[in-house]
């Protein structure tokens, strides 16, 4: 009887683990998505929830944040394979910067991270220097 109980527990545990793996695999992986925060509203973020910014001194499909600027505002790049709900993949493209690096754009605006944003949902770069803004729909 004890052996039968052990087998039943093992089968039950395996079923639970399989269920967890299946559920985890069912989540759709997205490379870019909308996030929302009460103070700032909806904005774009990468698939991990890191905020994405635009630089007002950029030209369409051209980054003007180079050298030292790019240290604090690293260019965002991803080979976009999946966009989150409400986003249109055709709004995104990839440009080659003058430094040779690739950068993802949204409707022609080059996208950046802010180096002081450490965690998903951080938006410390919003409005900085009146030149950096979260990318909003």
One domain, residues 37 and 16: no
Structural domain of 36 = 31-134
One domain, residues 126 and 100: yes
Residues in CB range of 39: below 8 A, 6 or more apart? 123
Q: What's the pTM value of the predicted model, to 2 decimals? A: 0.77
One domain, residues 23 and 86: no
Provide the pLDDT for residue 28: 56
> Number of structural domains, the chain?
2
Per-residue pLDDT of the chain (137 residues; tens, 9 = 90+): 555 444 444 333 333 333 332 223 334 577 999 999 999 999 999 999 999 999 999 999 999 999 999 999 999 999 888 778 888 889 999 999 999 999 999 999 999 999 999 999 999 999 999 999 999 98
One domain, residues 21 and 88: no
How do 41-46 and 92-96 pair as beta strands?
unpaired
One domain, residues 14 and 65: no
One domain, residues 22 and 48: no
Provide the pLDDT for residue 92: 93
């Amino acid at each position: 009887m004890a052996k039968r109980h052990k087998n039943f527990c093992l089968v039950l545990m395996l079923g639970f683990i399989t269920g967890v793996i299946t559920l985890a695999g069912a989540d759709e992986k997205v490379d870019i998505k909308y996030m929302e925060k009460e103070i700032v509203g909806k904005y774009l973020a990468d698939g991990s929830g890191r905020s994405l910014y635009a630089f007002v001194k950029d030209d369409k499909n051209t980054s003007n944040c180079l050298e030292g600027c790019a240290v604090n505002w690293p260019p965002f790049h991803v080979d976009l394979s999946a966009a989150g709900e409400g986003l249109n993949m055709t709004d995104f493209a990839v440009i080659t910067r003058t430094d040779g690096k690739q950068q993802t754009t949204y409707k022609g605006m080059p996208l950046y991270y802010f180096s002081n944003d450490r965690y998903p949902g951080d938006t410390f770069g919003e409005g900085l220097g009146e030149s950096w803004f979260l990318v909003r729909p």
